[in-house]
Amino acid sequence: MVVCFGEILWDNLPSGKKAGGAPMNVAYHLHHLGIDSLIISRVGDDESGNDLLKLLNDRGLSTAFCQVDTEYATSEVLARISANHEVSYDIVYPVAWDFIEWKNEFGSLLEKANAFVFGSLINRNIVSRAVLHRMLEVAKYRVFDINLRTPHYTTEVISDLLHKTDLLKLNVNELYLVGEWFAEKNSKEIEIIAMLQDKFNIKEILVTRGDIGASYFIENTRYDHGGYSIQVADTVGSGDAFLAAFLAKKLSGAPLEEALDYACILGAFVTTHAGACPNYSDLDLNQFISDAGNATKS
């Protein structure tokens, strides 16, 4: 089982309103890939919250740990997509998921979980941040999907979280930004990776590179994948799908090369759809995998 903690929301995209939030996206794709997963979050007592919970239930995800807030509204985000498919976000504050409350059953859930997935955005409010840190003390395998969203983070908060991370996932732009904070000036990528592993004792690091693939670093070993050439609809949630696929394979005992390849495939598949959580079937994904296998890797 994988427990995902943090924001659930509506992304207002040029293509329409889509359910989102990195932890929810990861939980959704894990569930779709046959991994028992759940999301711990909070929505408002409003129509948007009811719709979000209904969608999760309709897609087979448990909402048993999605709290309802009577004071703060369900989160809605304005997402802007540039001509080169880069996404920027206007994330309203405060909203319901800023005020997630600790429940005693969280402890037993985390003790049973094979992995605990969290991000940086949930730390912007002291209430949810305090709950996260209680969870990090219990979790056995802590997966930090960093997802830096200006202005909702500080270097101090990120540093604290990195010290409590077993697997770090970030994109290459975030890697260099973190390198500016903690590494020597003008450090190369591999030097930043080594710094993170040494300074924060992070055992595993995943770096995504958009349409040119990804890398996975563990101890003194590096795995690289060149990615797949596809027609992009938007890149919203592609990194979350990537992480879910990697975890699904890794937790099932698959070779790491296979896990990285599958992660790149699902990340690419999601970019061919609008929104982070397309309603796809196994047949849809298998057809895409077949087509991708016949395509030339970049």
- Give the residue from 197, 118, 192 showing the smallest Cα distance to 161: 118
* Cβ neighbours, 10 Å, residue 233: 16
- Provide the 8-state DSSP code for 236: T
> pLDDT by residue (tens digit) across 140-175?
999 999 999 999 999 999 999 999 999 999 999 999
Per-residue tokens: 295: 């395509």
Per-residue tokens: 276: 């982070």
From its phi and psi, is residue 6 left (phi > 0), alpha (psi between -120 and 50) or beta?
Answer: left
> pLDDT by residue (tens digit) across 43-84?
999 999 999 999 999 989 999 999 999 999 999 988 776 666
What confidence category does residue 14 fall into, taking pLDDT thresholds of 50, 70 and 90? confident
Percent of the chain with pLDDT over 70: 96
> Does the structural domain 2-292 have CATH classification 3.40.1190.20?
yes
How far apart are alpha carbons 250 and 21 in whole angstroms?
23
Segment holding 51, helix H or strand E: helix 47-58
Q: What is the pLDDT of residue 237?
A: 86
How far apart are alpha carbons 96 and 102 in whole angstroms?
14
- Provide the 8-state DSSP code for 211: G
Average pLDDT, integer, range 30-42? 96
Percent of the chain with pLDDT over 90: 80
